[in-house]
Structure 1
Amino acid sequence: MRLLDRAAVRALLDPDALVEAVATAMIDLSTGRASVPPRVAARVGEIGLLAAMPAYSGTLGVVAAKLLTVYPGNGAVDRPSHQAVIAVFAPEDGSLRALMDGDVVTADRTAAASALSVRALARSDARVLAVLGTGPQARSHALFVAPTRPFEEIRVGGRDPHKVADLVEDLARQGVVARGCTIDGALRDADVVCAATSTLRPLVDLESVAPGAHVVSVGYVPEGREVDPALLTRSQLVVEHRETALAPFPVGSNDLAELVARGKIHPDAVDELGEILCGLRPGRTADDQPTVYKSVGVAVQDAAAAAVVLAAAERTGAGVELAL
């Protein structure tokens, strides 16, 4: 078994390879070549939860499972709200091949899928990118989404100006020039919005973004809402997996599930990202209609990222070999 810590995972997780692997995983999920049972979670009172997320991708030939904790209150004490570990198994005999840190994987595989949604759904003339949030997901989204369009302006919006400034400086070191803003300032007439927050009340509505904007929403906390219901009901909606996304929390998205239950959204009208990527459903259908990609995270994305990391580790000899 190969043990890979956070530094090793970060060094081995090539962004281009990750985007391609996640695209394959999304197509597998939408065409029946992946096995992804619903996420299960144990609640830890009112402060957090522990989720288990197993998956198999036939095309990628990977079997993996992620254990993830979500503690929304950790941000108040400068501790990550999401923490994870991933185990990778050999599909031919079930033997344990690797155990790796899952925090970098979670942030980057989510952003890679979001970047695929921007490629497929954002208007070709999109010029302003708004990233909402200041945590690892916001950072990864800025890095992965920035190359998808010739953006003339990238804005980072958050509640804490010091955290906004820190993220802007960090992105500059990675070659992404961004401007720090308030959340409202970042949203104003933005063509592409990536919301990666722990908000309980909607931040993104029809009036705050440009006509035909593409919105990515990855915030995932109990009772959390990032996108106004009026925007959701008037948008072309895209998810990773209908059955998953339209289920109640902790499996799916509360905001979408409630709108389906109230008859405001019909499940058949919701597209899957993999369906769009392989041509089973069209991409953007109207330039003036908003598009929303609502991500709840699916385990086959973790499996795809873990496969990229493990292949690179085996090529380079990275990590530590252990026998349990």
Structure 2
Amino acid sequence: MLVLGRSQVEALLDWDTLIDALTSALADLSANRASAPGRVAALVPEHDGFLAAMPGYVPSAGALMSKLVSLFPRNAGTPLPTHQAVIVVFDPATGEPTALLDGTAITAARTGACSALSARLLAREDAAVLAVLGTGVQARSHARAMCRVRPIRQIRVAGRNPAKAAALADELSSVLDAEVRAVSTYAEALDGADIAAATTHSLEPVVRRPWLTPGVHITSVGYNPAGREVDDATIAEALVCVESRRAALAPFPAGSNDLVMPIRDGVITADHVHAELGELIVGSKPGRTSPNQITLYKSVGVAVQDAAAAALVVTTAHEQSIGEQITLR
């Protein structure tokens, strides 16, 4: 069995290749070629956390795996990530376990890469101003990934902690070819933004319709067990897309409060979810229809994303002879 730690996984993942791999995996999912059962989770209510199991099979990637992921939002602001995971990869022909991977790095990268894929499909071609809402792992991932698919020239970072926003802006300035600056409020970050990446655990919406510029593309990936990231007015007006309708509209903790709550309150119906990304990829559903249309990708994460990323990591590790080999007895 191949064993790869976090730094090895991070070094092996290439953004452009990952975005392309996710394109095929999500097309498989929407065409019912991939298998991704609903996430099951053991809740830890005293810490607002859970431990989830996410098995998946993606035939286009030859990938069979299962991820165990813990999500503890109270880790925000501590040395520990809110998402921590391991992935076990299996041979799809025999079922033999073949690799054990750090899943924390894969979760961070595949989430940002899939948001970038949504921007490739839905954001205006000339989108140049990116608002990053949040200062954690996903904020970093999204800033890096978005620059791969659109000509981003300015990035504005906003978070609850101004010092962390300033530190992240300095960090991103050193690795990205864009002007990056911290701003004081979410509203300031969103004013005039072409793309907004919401990556928070906020109880109250950090994306509000009065703060948005016509034509903005929004990505929302935050886990908000007692709240939501996007307000009703934005949800109601936007062209809404997801990875999987079944996953996004599932009851807590699998689904999204950003969609489930407005449906519960009668603001929208389930039919308001316009398309899965896989349907946009193959052209069975249209994407943006006008420059001023607001588009929204709401992510809850699905196992085919992890499977596609894990397959890339394992293939590249074998090509480069990276990782430790152990024998299971």
TM-score range, shorter chain: over 0.9
Which residue does the alignment assign to 2:2?
2
Q: Where in structure 1 are there 5+ consecutive unaligned residues?
A: none
Pairing partner for 2:278 from 274, 277, 284 = 274
Aligned residues: 324
Alpha-carbon deviations, 1:191-224, whole Å to 9, x = none?
1100001101101111111112111000013123
- 1:50 CA drift (Å): 0.4
**Residues 246 and 260 in structure 1, CA contact (< 8 A), matched pair in contact too:** no
CA distance in 1, matches of 2:194, 2:7: 34
Which residue does the alignment assign to 2:287?
283
Q: Secondary structure at the match of 2:16?
A: helix
Q: Secondary structure at the match of 1:140?
A: helix
- Mapping for residues 33-44 of structure 1, pairs under 5 Å: 33-44=33-44
Pairing partner for 1:320 from 297, 303, 324 = 324
**CA RMSD, Structure 1 to Structure 2 (Å):** 1.3
Task: Please report the TM-score for the alignment, with normalisation by the length of structure 2.
Answer: 0.95
**Residues 158 and 189 in structure 2, CA contact (< 8 A), matched pair in contact too:** yes
Which residue does the alignment assign to 2:91?
90
- 1:76 CA drift (Å): 4.0
Alpha-carbon deviations, 1:156-210, whole Å to 9, x = none?
1112122112212221232343111122221112111000011011011111111
Q: Secondary structure at the match of 1:84?
A: strand
Q: Decide whether aligned partners of structure 1 residues 8 and 93 sit closer, same or farther in structure 2, where only a CA change above 3 A counts.
A: same
Q: Secondary structure at the match of 2:314?
A: helix
CA distance in 2, matches of 1:173, 1:86: 31
Q: Where in structure 2 are there 5+ consecutive unaligned residues?
A: none
Task: Please report the TM-score for the alignment, with normalisation by the length of structure 1.
Answer: 0.96
1:224 aligns with 2:227: yes
- Mapping for residues 130-209 of structure 1, pairs under 5 Å: 130-177=131-178, 178-182=180-184, 183-209=186-212
Q: Secondary structure at the match of 1:34?
A: coil
**Residues 138 and 196 in structure 1, CA contact (< 8 A), matched pair in contact too:** yes
- 1:15 CA drift (Å): 1.1
* Paired residue type of 1:44: V
Pairing partner for 1:212 from 189, 207, 215 = 215
Identity across matched positions, percent: 51
Q: Secondary structure at the match of 1:216?
A: strand
Which residue does the alignment assign to 1:62?
63
Mean Cα displacement is larger for which, 294-303 or 219-228?
219-228
* Paired residue type of 1:80: P
**Residues 191 and 209 in structure 1, CA contact (< 8 A), matched pair in contact too:** no
- 1:54 CA drift (Å): 0.5
Pairing partner for 1:303 from 293, 300, 307 = 307
Alpha-carbon deviations, 1:255-282, whole Å to 9, x = none?
2012223443333342101100111111
CA distance in 1, matches of 2:164, 2:141: 15
